[in-house]
Every structure is written in C-alpha cells, then in structure tokens.
Structure 1
C-alpha cells in the first residue's frame, strides 16, 4: 500500500462519510420496517423492500452514463442534499403510501450515488491501491450493517419513528459537505477519456462485463452463488427461531457474527495482490468456503454452533467482496467505471430480488434446515463447477498481458 499523504487523507475522509451514510441508511430501514410491521400486511414490507432496491436496476444505465460524464464531487454533493431532503419527508409523513413512494424516490437518487462513489474510490486511491481502498470501503459498509439495526431499534424505542429518518437525512448532508472537502475528483476532462465515454451506449457497462473473457465467468459464477446464498437468507429467521427454538436475540447474534466476520475479512483482503490470477483464485476459494459453512449450518442442532460457522463464512465473504470489486475495477477502463459499477449493482440487486421471491416459494415446499443444506451444497458446487472456467480465463488474461508487455 503506497498512499501519498493526500491520498490517505481523502481515502479516510471518503471512508468516514460513507460509513456515516451506510449507518444512517441501516438505522432508517430498521425504523421503517418497525413503522410498517404493526399494520400486519406482509405486502407492505415487501413493497418497501422493492421500493428500496428496484430503482438500482431500472436506473442503472442512465446512472452509470451520467456518472461517466459529470465531475464526481459536484454530482455526489447535489445527490447528497437531495437524499437528505427526501429522508426528512419520510420522517415527517408516516402514511403507508407516502412511505413507499418516498422510499422509491430516495432509492432513485441512491441509484446514481452508488456508482458515483464506487468510481471515485480508485480515482483517489490510484491504480496500485485498489485492493486496499476496496477493503476499507467494504469494511465500513459491513460495520454499518451490524450496528445499524441495533441503533435503529434503540432509537425507535426511545425517541420514536421520525428521528432515525432525520438522523439519516443529517448523515446525507454531512456526507455531501464532506464530499466537497475531498482534494481529489473524478473529472472526465482528458479528450481521450471523453471520446471513450461518448463512444459507448448507456448499456456499455453490461456489454463490457459480458464481453470481457475474464469478468464474464467470474460474474456468472458469483451470480449463481449469490442466488443460492440469498435464498438461504430468507429461511434463516425460520431456522433459528422455529427449527432451533431460539429467541430473536439469538437470531440477531447470528447476523452479527457474520457481519463482524465480514468486516475482518474485508480488512484482511486489503492486503491482496492485484494480479488477475490471484484475485480470481481468491474469489473462488472464498465463495467455496462460504458454501461449505452454510451447508454445515444446516446440520447443527443448537444455535450456539452457528456462530463460529457464520463468523468464518463472514470472513470469507468479506475477502470475496473485496477481491471481486478489485478485479472488476482493475479490468475496467477508467472512462467506463461508472457504467460498470452501475451494471454490477443492477445485476446483483436483481439477483437478490429474484432470490427473495424464490426463497419464499422454496420455504413453502421444504424445511428451513433443508434450505440451508441444499443452499450450501449448491453454492459450493457452483464454485467447483464454474470456477475452473473463470480461473482458466484469468490465466489466459494474465498471459496476454505478459505478451503485450514483452
């Protein structure tokens, strides 16, 4: 890791502002679920979840295209202010339809800020520090996912349902102000960069991922793997509370053990080498570990045995996340990174939506324990069957780079 003093300052500032935003979002979502739960309508919770994710799929082409054409700091600052205003409105209006509609508006802005910040990170860190910077960003996101539900629940119980949303609004505004303080910016200023950005359509991110002979098998392997794991996530609460007869507290600790592990794994992965073969191998090995751990969870008879298994799975998932995003960044032309990250967000968000629907149908047919067992086996087989193709592609890509450099 060879950060300059200015790079180190901006990476720390960016990590801090993203941590504040992620934590605010996690707190707010917890408050909103608690707001709608007393209504007794499962469709309302589902609608809120869809409103919070669907725009990331629908607006991905436009978002990525805009990110690749506009200076990052200006765009992200305006988006932060807009997101803060919407959060204030969600906190003020508590009606069901107002909540869902405003959540749809908020996630529409997030659909633009996500690829914007993702593309800004390597511009600050430099090409040689992508793994280290990704490790830091994934770690703060993991920490927020652990702390957010706890803080959100405490705030709702102590100060009501509006203040978590007002605090989330404040987090967006603070992030917007902090963004203006960054010394680095991502500007599409060089003529070659502008020409490359303008020569591709809004779907260039998806096309690039599909046409790249290394990223295509990696993305497909990861997509199938996440489908299996996300189906398991749907059954997790039933497995812990119904099958193992444990309380909500124990269920919360299961998620916390995975989250803490993912933070540790992300920080550990910051030391990864950025060679193509090394990154591809890291992804395949770690998703295999996750699959094995999930399958073993399906065999336990007491909830206490789940915690170490989920912690190990979390460490492996943290490494896999960092390795995956590092590989995608290294392989992507700088001028296309906004569209590439938007495409990645859309693909995996769509995968999550599909897995949630599939999980509900699967649970109607088999027990939660069986879901864990089958999901773990499916995730492991995914890596073992599709992985060799991806590894072979990484070696071929590495060989081509060596030939070009010779």
Structure 2
C-alpha cells in the first residue's frame, strides 16, 4: 500500500511544500527548455531548410502520435516501477536526445528523435502524476495542478521572445544545448525529493500484463465522473488543436488584419490560460471539480462562438482570452479529479489513458482543421466546435444535477 504524506497546513502557499517546490522548479526549467528546442526546430525547418507547413505538421504529429499509442503501455510499467527512478532515467535519456538535435541534418532525423522523445515522455508523465499525488495532500491537489499548469502556460507565453532572440544571436543549436541542460536540471531536482509511493505488484505473465493494460480504461469508463472529465478534456483539446492552426488565416481573411493582430490573438489565449489557472486555484476549492469542468466548457464554448460570430479585432482578442480562461478550468479540474479518484496502485495506468486521449485529440484536431476549413469555411468550423463544447457541457450539467438530486434524496431517506 502507498503511504500518505503528512498533511500540510490548509493555509499558505502550495510552495511551502519543499518537495513540490523542487518538482515545480524542475518542471518550469524543463518546459522552458522544451519550448526553446521546439522553436529552434521549427526555425531550422522553416528558415534554414526552407521547409513547408506540412513538414512542420509532420514533425508535431511525430511527437504526439507515439505518445497517444505508447502511453497506456507505459502506464502499466510505471505503476510497477519506482517512480522517482523512472523520472530521473527519463530526464537523462531525453537530455541526451535533446543534445542529439545539434547534429541533425534532415527532417527524417528530426522526426526520429521526436518519436524517441515522445516514447520516453510517455513514461515520465504518469510518473509525475503519481509523484504529485504522493507529495501533495489531497485537499491541496487543485492548487498544485493549477501551479504546474500555470508554469506551462507562462513559459508558452514568454518563450517565443526568448527563443527568437537566442536563435538570432547564437543560432538554433543554442536552444538544443539549453534544452539538454534543462532535462539535467529537472533530474537533479527530482533526485533531491522523497516520494512516499510503493509500486504496485503485477503479474509477469502476458495475460496478466494485458489485464493490467485494460484495467485503466475500464476503471475510467465505469467511473461516471472520470468518464465525463476525460470526455471533456478530449473535446477541449480537440477544439484548441483544431482552431490554433486557423487563427492566422482567420486574422488574415476574416479580420483583414496583420501579423501583429495574429500575435495578439495567440497571446490572448495564453494570458487567458494563466488567468484561468489562477482563478481556479483561488476560488475553485469549495466547488465540485465536475462543476468546474462544466463551467469551463460553457465559458470556452461562448468564446469560440463569439469568435465565429464577430469580425471585430478587439472582440477577437477578448474571445480568445475567454477560450483560454475556460480551458484552464477543464484541464486543472480534470487533472485533480483523476488524481483524487484513482486508487494509488492504478494512477500510472489511468493518467496514461488521460494522456493518450489528450494526444489523440490533438492529432485529430491538427489533421482535420485545414480540411474542415476548406469544406465549410473557418467561421462555421468555429461555430461547430462551440456547439460541440456546449453539448458536452450540457450533458455534464444534466448528470451533475441528477447526481445532486439523488444524493439529496438519499440523505433525506
């Protein structure tokens, strides 16, 4: 059985937990390195090799698709292995792969390295989820997940400027060197923490392995709340991946504006994500996590719908901010529900299933967005996505109310 960490005081910053503070710092630096490397790779393809948009898309898919496929398998092993060792080993291997980017000469080599990075990341991510659940008291998981998400979104917002300056002054290789260092830094931070988690015992037979492999999905889809939040997260990620490649075309053809406006629209999503994580962390603790997911879906649906209805630049910035704000609710609350509701011995498998769904939704969004825009137009795509989000939210709201009514009836009986 897993041991439970000693509860921390309810008041005060989540960063008062020393082990969480180290994990957060390691992840912040590592994520920053990842964004530098991604910028460097895209710069290499676009400006050095004079590549096409399709080649950039292939590169992104070469990272997302293996993670979607491998994650459920990785989760079985992560549940059985010491998670601290898994994370350190994963960081060291990924650091070596990031360093290898320095010597790539063609797209095939880049895609091969990205496939490798994706496979190793499939082991790191569920191990990180187990670690956070083990070192953070249950009642503070919402704040912890909000801070980890905020680190990601902050880096996403700020890194393009830093990466652009770095590539201009020192070239793309500087980004790859720094990414390799960031993985080493993350491994060093993880080495200093204590993870009070005991690996689960599993059958060594092939039959037992496949039983463990399917148990994560079976647990999710027989648990009504988890089934709803994973569906919601899939819908939100599909919409974001579907719409993100269309923002530049929307600004050019619908708003008849410039690249400066495209930058504002893209940044507004990031600012909304950061604001949303802050809001959830401060005001979401007293609310049902399922209710937070429903609220996030409705807010995001409203933002996407307004983006499709109006052709005003100021409205576009406001609505993309709203989209980011709503999606933050969905991601933070879904992550917290998954950690709280899953037995510790299954958390690797369940979190891997979440990550697999997350990645598949992103891949399908990227693949379908351009074709959908050609078939029905950009604004109808936005409105269709808004309707899909609103439908998922409405179904979740109805089930949430029904569950509340059943609970009240049981209490009165």
1:181 aligns to what? 192
| 2:130 matches 1:119 | yes
Mapping for residues 212-231 of structure 1, pairs under 5 Å: 212-231=223-242
Structure 2 residue 10 is the aligned partner of structure 1 residue 2: yes
The alpha-carbon distance between structure 1 residues 399 and 331, as it changes in their structure 2 partners (threshold 3 A), is: farther
| 1:316, distance to aligned residue in structure 2 (A) | 2.2
1:12-36 superposed Cα distances (whole Å, 9 cap, x missing partner): 1111111111111112111111211
User: Which of the residues 299, 303, 309 maps onto 1:289?
Assistant: 299
The alignment's C-alpha RMSD in Å is 2.8
- Structure 2 distance, partners of 1:218, 1:77, is 30
Deviation at 1:206, TM superposition (A): 1.5
1:327 paired to 2:337: yes
Map of 1:372-387 to 2, 5 A cutoff?
A: 372-387=382-397
Deviations 1:125-165 (A, max 9, x none): 02221111111111111111112222222222221111111
Match of 1:35 in 2: 44
Q: CA deviation at 1:67?
A: 1.4
Deviation at 1:290, TM superposition (A): 0.8
Distance across 2 between alignment mates of 1:336 and 1:315: 31
What SS is found at the alignment partner of 2:126? helix
Q: Structure 1 CA distance, aligned partners of 2:63 and 2:338?
A: 25
SS at match of 1:94: coil
Number of the residue aligned with 1:86: 97
The alignment's TM-score, normalised by the length of structure 2, stands at: 0.88
Where does residue 402 of structure 2 map in the other structure?
392
State how far apart, in whole Å, the 2-side matches of 1:375 and 1:35 are. 33
Q: Distance in 1 between matches of 2:178 and 2:102?
A: 9
Structure 1 residue runs of 4 or more that deviate by more than 4 Å after TM superposition:
3-7, 195-200, 272-275, 393-400
- In the TM superposition, residue 95 of structure 1 has moved relative to its aligned partner by 1.9
Taking the aligned partners of 2:63 and 2:31, their CA distance within structure 1 comes to 14
- CA drift of 1:387 comes to 3.6
CA distance in 1, matches of 2:216, 2:168: 43
Pairing partner for 1:194 from 198, 201, 207? 201
Q: Residue 305 of structure 1 corresponds to which residue in structure 2?
A: 315
Q: Distance in 2 between matches of 1:168 and 1:397?
A: 50
- Measured at CA, do residues 370 and 213 of structure 1 come closer, stay the same or move farther in structure 2, by a change above 3 Å? closer
SS in 1 for 2:257: coil
Alpha-carbon spacing, 1:37–1:391, altered in 2? closer, same or farther (3 Å):
farther
Residue number in structure 2 paired with 1:15: 24
Q: 1:225 to 1:103 in 2, by over 3 A?
A: closer
Distance, in Å, in 1 between the alignment partners of 2:103 and 2:59 is 17
What is the DSSP-based 3-state SS (H/G/I as helix, E as strand, rest coil) of the residue aligned with 2:20? helix
Give the gaps of 5 or more residues in structure 1. none
With over 3 angstroms needed to count, the CA separation of the structure-2 counterparts of 1:388 and 1:81, relative to structure 1, is: same
User: Deviation per CA, 1:301-344, whole angstroms, max 9, x where unpaired?
Assistant: 23232222222332222122111111111111011111111100
1:211 equivalent in alignment to 2:222: yes
- Would the alpha carbon gap of residues 235 and 53 (structure 1) be closer, same or farther in structure 2, given more than 3 Å must change? same
Helix, strand or coil: the match of 2:325? helix
Q: 2:381 aligned with 1:371, yes or no?
A: yes
**Matched residue, 1:233:** 244
- Select which of 59, 65, 70 maps to 1:59: 70
Q: Write the deviation string for residues 43-84 of structure 1: whole angstroms up to 9, x where unpaired.
A: 321220111111211211221112111112111111111100
Q: Distance in 1 between matches of 2:236 and 2:151?
A: 23
Query: How far does residue 377 in structure 1 lie from its aligned partner after superposition?
Result: 2.9
Q: Distance in 2 between matches of 1:98 and 1:391?
A: 52
Q: Is the 8 A contact 1:90 1:99 kept in 2?
A: yes
1:395 positional shift: 6.7
- The answer to whether 1:161 aligns with 2:172 is yes
Deviation at 1:348, TM superposition (A): 1.5
* Secondary structure in 2 matching 1:133: helix
Distance 2:37 2:22 in 1: 23
Q: Deviations over 1:96-139 (max 9, x none)?
A: 21111111111111111111112211111022211111111111
Q: Would the aligned equivalents of 2:64 and 2:362 in 1 still touch at CA under 8 Å?
A: no
- Once the two structures are TM-superposed, the CA of residue 391 in structure 1 deviates from its matched residue by 4.9
SS at match of 1:182: coil
Structure 1 pair 194/7, CA: closer, same or farther in 2 (3 Å)?
farther
Partner of 2:264: 253
Q: Distance in 1 between matches of 2:247 and 2:215?
A: 37
1:2 aligned counterpart, secondary structure: coil
